[in-house]
Amino acid sequence: MARTAQVQQHDKAEESDRQRLIAENRRARYDYFIEGSIEAGIVLTGTEIRSIRAGRVQLREAFARVEHGECFLFNMHIGPYDFGNRWNHEPVRPRKLLLHRDEIDDLWRHARQSGRTLVPLRLYLKRGRAKVELGLARGKHNYDKRESIAARDRQRDVDRALADRAGSVRG
Residue 29 confidence (pLDDT): 86
Residue 1 confidence (pLDDT): 45
Per-residue pLDDT band at 84 (split at 50, 70, 90):
confident
For 27-82, the pLDDT digits (tens) are: 888 888 899 999 999 999 888 899 999 999 999 899 999 999 999 999 999 998 88
β-bridge partners, 126:
19, 129
Distance, in Å, from the CA atom of 123 to the CA atom of 20, rounded to the nearest integer, reads: 9
Residue 5 confidence (pLDDT): 47
Distance, in Å, from the CA atom of 16 to the CA atom of 7, rounded to the nearest integer, reads: 14
Distance, in Å, from the CA atom of 4 to the CA atom of 77, rounded to the nearest integer, reads: 45
Residue 18 confidence (pLDDT): 81
Q: 3-state class of 101 per DSSP?
A: helix
Residue 139 confidence (pLDDT): 85
pTM passes above 0.75 = no
β-bridge partners, 155:
none
Per-residue pLDDT band at 115 (split at 50, 70, 90):
confident
Per-residue pLDDT band at 163 (split at 50, 70, 90):
confident
Distance, in Å, from the CA atom of 164 to the CA atom of 167, rounded to the nearest integer, reads: 5
Distance, in Å, from the CA atom of 135 to the CA atom of 28, rounded to the nearest integer, reads: 9
Residue 145 confidence (pLDDT): 80
Distance, in Å, from the CA atom of 91 to the CA atom of 104, rounded to the nearest integer, reads: 25
